[in-house]
Structure 1
Amino acid sequence: MAIYTKGGDKGKTSLFDGARVEKDSLRVDTYGTFDELNANISLADKFCQNPENKKLLQTIEYKMFFLQGEIATENVETFAKHSKLITDNDTHQLEHVIDEYLAKLPKVHSFILPGASVAGAQLHICRTVCRRAERNFVKLSRTVSFRPELERYINRLSDFLYVIAREEDYEDYVNKLTDKVLKIYQLYQASKDVR
């Protein structure tokens, strides 16, 4: 089966509900930027050391399909007949993780560099792409009406990615520190055995 349809050869594409729009329209740019974010989240998930973070990110990857699908549909009722919708429960789940992680991470009193570990750096890329997608969404919302549940979820998503990045960086720091202490201890034990 061919993956090309030739339907977009003249600069137009179809939305979820079949409506045809220009490929450079703000709607397409918005859900396309969330698609870019999802690909980056998938990459971040492969770098994560913490299995719980991997699981959280994989859940987000599936939610992104619902988010993008709703943005790519002119009539939300049409989309709802064929797919799930983002709900306030999804936003509450993000908030729960944010609150839980911030409670256990060291306090931050200044700006931080974007990622001390590979996973942390990739998650900060996700955070910045999410913010760009959100700016497009806000601009699109001036002319297109979206459900407030979708707006709340998008606003919380970048905060979620920020705390997952911080947690991965902190875990990387603790692991490196533990390795360093273990090596020092092993050297100390080896020097005792020589005597």
Structure 2
Amino acid sequence: MVRIYTKTGDKGQTRIIGKQVVDKDNVRVNAYGSVDELNSWVGYADSQLTEKTVELHAELQEIQQLLFDAGTDLATPADDPKHDFIFDAKSTKWLEGKIDHYTEVAPPVQKFILPGGSQVASALHVARTITRRAEREVVTLQGTAEINKDVLVFINRLSDYFFAVARYANVLEGTEDVLYRNSRPVFR
């Protein structure tokens, strides 16, 4: 039997790729931990899909795969001789195509919208905010260690994706976005 516990964490430490032991509040652990949290939330959002939004299933699962790759790269010190970065710019290009499509099919918006709408859209808006936090933590990591820059670009674009796909989920569900009442026109 393989045990999933190592007891390293009993002292507030964890082992990263390359076998280096670091504190659990290390900036690297925070960065890939937030990406892992996001991955879990995307799985939750996927589980909430309805008959009207089920078309999003395959791409949400693809995003989970890509987030696992991104987390692996964030957990890998750049100087580790046994591991190469696996994440590349193709994934960001794929996301940009999705963002453009969903922006095109959703009603034009000139003002800020409140996160919400349908249950699926609401879950996707939560994914957007988790993505923004993960991005901040990846930027912090970038200030202390060399990272795969393609991961940061992808995470930045991913929050835009979740905004666009949340709006599209509302379109599919027949739910209107709610405009922030004090917003001036910001999108032109």
- Give the TM bin, normalised by the shorter chain: 0.7 to 0.9
1:69 is matched with which residue: 67, 72, 81? 72
Corresponding residue SS for 2:116: coil
Query: Does the residue aligned with 2:9 lie in a helix, a strand or coil?
Result: coil
- What's the counterpart of residue 25 of structure 2? 24
Corresponding position of 1:78: 82
Q: CA deviation at 1:48?
A: 2.1
Name the structure 2 match of 1:52: 55
Structure 1 residue 77: Cα displacement:
5.7
Mean Cα displacement is larger for which, 144-153 or 108-117?
144-153
One-letter code of the match for 2:67? M
Look up the equivalent residue of 2:60 and give its one-letter code: L
Q: Distance in 2 between matches of 1:17 and 1:153?
A: 24
Change (3 A) 1:77 1:147: farther
**Superposition TM-score, scaled by structure 2 size:** 0.86
Please report how far the alpha carbon of residue 47 of structure 1 lies from its aligned counterpart in structure 2 after TM superposition: 1.4
Question: 1:124 corresponds to which residue?
Answer: 125
Which amino acid letter does the alignment assign opposite residue 55 of structure 2?
Answer: E
Check whether the contact 2:127–2:162 (CA below 8 A) recurs between aligned residues.
yes
CA distance in 1, matches of 2:42, 2:83: 24
- Provide the C-alpha distance between the structure 2 equivalents of 1:128 and 1:122, rounded to a whole number of angstroms: 10
| Counterpart residue type for residue 55 of structure 1 | A
Question: Following the alignment from structure 1 to structure 2, what is the Cα–Cα distance between the partners of residues 95 and 79?
Answer: 28
- Check whether the contact 1:48–1:168 (CA below 8 A) recurs between aligned residues: no
- Say which structure is richer in helix: 1
The question of whether the paired residues in 2 share the 8 Å contact of 1:120 and 1:169 is answered with yes
SS at match of 2:113: coil
Q: Does 1:151 align with 2:155?
A: no
Given that 1:86 and 1:153 are in contact with CA atoms closer than 8 Å, whether structure 2 keeps it comes out as no
Query: Which amino acid is the alignment partner of residue 61 of structure 1?
Result: Q
The aligned residue for residue 7 of structure 1 is 8
CA–CA distance in structure 1, aligned partners of residues 115 and 123 of structure 2: 9
Count, aligned residues: 172
SS in 2 for 1:9: helix
User: How far apart are 1:86 and its partner, in Å?
Assistant: 1.7
| CA apart distance, 1:147 | 2.6
Distance 2:104 2:124 in 1: 20
1:100 matches 2:101: yes
Decide whether the 8 Å contact of 1:17 with 1:74 is kept in 2: yes
- Kindly indicate whether the alpha-carbon contact (under 8 Å) linking 2:77 and 2:146 is maintained by their aligned counterparts in 1: no
Q: Matched residues in 1 for 2:87 and 2:167: separation?
A: 25
Paired with 1:5 and 1:148, the residues of 2 have a C-alpha distance of 31
Query: What value does the CA root-mean-square deviation take over the aligned residues?
Result: 1.7
> Identity of paired residues, percent?
37
Query: How far 1:148 sits from its partner (Å)?
Result: 2.3
